[in-house]
Amino acid sequence: MTSGQSSTSGKYYIGLMSGTSADGIDLALVDFSDEQAKPKLVASYYQAYSGEFAEKITALYVPGDNEIDHAFHLDVALAHLFAQAVTDFLTQEALNPSDIIAIGNHGQTIRHRPSGNNPYTLQIGCSQTLATLTSIRVVGQFRRKDMALGGQGAPLVPIFHQQLVPQKDSACFVVNIGGIANVTYLPKQGCSDTVLGFDTGPGNALLDDWFNQHHQGNTKFDENGAWAGAGQVNQALLSQFMQDDYIQAKAPKSTGREYYNLDWLTQQLSSINNDSDVSITPVDIQATLVAFTCKSIAQSIHALAQHGNVYVCGGGAHNTIVLEQLSEYLTTRFELNTMDALAIDGDQLEAMAFAWFAYAYDHNLVSNMPAVTGAKTTCTLGSLFLP
Ligand SMILES: Nc1ncnc2c1ncn2[C@@H]1O[C@H](COP(=O)(O)OP(=O)(O)OP(=O)(O)O)[C@@H](O)[C@H]1O
Ligand SMILES: [Mg+2]
């Protein structure tokens, strides 16, 4: 084990994730003690953010005034919320801090600029504060070493998908539809292809942003795609979306909310409105955004294999319209299911992955994938923070 391992009798790792949808905190309690078995999800916990807190996070996705103060106050505020969630979770499970070997803290991405000059990625939710408040070792800053090695620092989860999803005699794809959507390609058994993965484009990000622009009230997203389902896909707008630079770029690639946001959409809408006499109604735009999410995912999958199994996870797996459209855009040679079909909880997968990254840190395991991120070499990701 890596130095810094405490003399804890702990048995479990906690994975802690706050995704780009800024909906809330996901915690997963994972048992890796049986090395012959798949990682076991023991329990999970979710703490939603208040609307006001979510706005503080999303305000930092794009450049604004006095960002340093805002970002680093939020760094600590988030750590306090994370620590409270860990404490409540332990109480719920009748566990003590000493039962936990470490927390894998992904944190909250507020900016991801993986290309150009001096690329960087920024996750906040201070791991040192979290360790001190919980009295539990924390492994955090998972994306940095991959980036220092010239990689995108994202997506990181494909290596965990590879371990969790059983190999089959046809290709498997794991599609995580969070704020941004990412796909992992797991080649069929005996195939010499490498595991690949990349962000396909927006997942729920634009759906949430556009929905909120047109709806007041407590619901922060288009539940089951009811609003999108009442609209018509505008084919001209959809093909313009599909021409977007990020969609056209080749992997390795990753993206974030600094790119796919209302400014991006406003620009897209102004170019289509300039070309057409009829403006598109808000509900049709929502339907077209769903189509964009699904078509960009399907196109990425078709580029990698001609048939196989597709398993959907993340919040988008709860959106009926997203699942319907994804199934329409995929050719009939793909079978589409949610992760339930593999008896895996698709809502906990990301949090479970960060529990594994902490475990991998403790055991000096390789945890990045150069074929996915573009890093020069393999490495063990993460930095340790002691209570
Ligand atoms: N019943 C539902 N109907 C429609 N959309 C839903 C439903 N449940 C969740 N969602 C969508 O899922 C989003 C949350 O998904 P999730 O937590 O996977 O994203 P995330 O936090 O961005 O995760 P990550 O970035 O780690 O992939 C919500 O913002 C919403 O858009
Ligand atoms: Mg989330």
Do 84 and 144 lie in one domain? The reply is yes
Do 319 and 376 lie in one domain? The reply is no
Do 229 and 145 lie in one domain? The reply is no
pLDDT under 50: residue ranges of the chain: 3, 6-7
pLDDT at 7: 47
Sheet of strand 171-177: strand arrangement = 196-202, 180-186, 171-177, 308-313, 334-338
The domain of 380 spans: 12-155+350-385
Residue among 18, 21, 312, 320 whose CB has most ligand 1 atoms within 8 A, to mutate: 21
Do 94 and 151 lie in one domain? The reply is yes
Distance 93 CA to ligand 1 centre (A): 25
Distance CA 165, CA 341 (A): 11
Task: Looking at the CA of residue 222, tell me the nearest atom of ligand 1.
Answer: 4
Distance 22 CA to ligand 2 centre (A): 6
Do 194 and 72 lie in one domain? The reply is no
Output the CA torsion 298→302→306→310 (10° steps).
-40
Q: Which ligand is nearest to the CA of 206?
A: 1
Sequence-distant (≥ 6) Cβ neighbours of residue 284 within 8 angstroms: 231, 232, 233, 234
pLDDT at 5: 54
Three-state DSSP class for residue 203: coil
Q: Whose Cα sits closest to atom 26 in ligand 1?
A: 19
Do 186 and 87 lie in one domain? The reply is no
Do 32 and 75 lie in one domain? The reply is yes
Do 208 and 331 lie in one domain? The reply is yes
In a domain, 190, yes or no: yes
Do 47 and 148 lie in one domain? The reply is yes
Which helix or strand (DSSP H or E) is residue 180 part of?
A: strand 180-186
Q: Is the dihedral of CA 22, 317, 102, 50 positive or negative?
A: positive
In a domain, 260, yes or no: yes
pLDDT at 219: 83
Residue among 23, 180, 199 whose CB has most ligand 1 atoms within 8 A, to mutate: 23
Distance CA 2, CA 361 (A): 7
Distance 208 CA to ligand 1 centre (A): 9
In a domain, 1, yes or no: no
Distance 349 CA to ligand 2 centre (A): 11
Decide whether any atom of ligand 1 lies within 6 Å of the 318 Cβ. yes
Task: Looking at the CA of residue 179, tell me the nearest atom of ligand 1.
Answer: 22
For 352-381, b/e burial (b = at least 16 CB within 10 A) is bbbbbbbbbbbeeeebbbbebbbbeeebbb
Q: How many domains does the chain have?
A: 2
pLDDT at 279: 81
pLDDT at 168: 85
Decide whether any atom of ligand 1 lies within 6 Å of the 48 Cβ. no
Distance CA 305, CA 142 (A): 30
pLDDT at 1: 58
In a domain, 38, yes or no: yes
Distance 10 CA to ligand 1 centre (A): 31
Q: Whose Cα sits closest to atom 5 in ligand 1?
A: 319
Do 274 and 135 lie in one domain? The reply is no
Q: Whose Cα sits closest to atom 29 in ligand 1?
A: 21
Do 217 and 322 lie in one domain? The reply is yes
Q: Whose Cα sits closest to atom 14 in ligand 1?
A: 315
In a domain, 5, yes or no: no
In a domain, 253, yes or no: yes
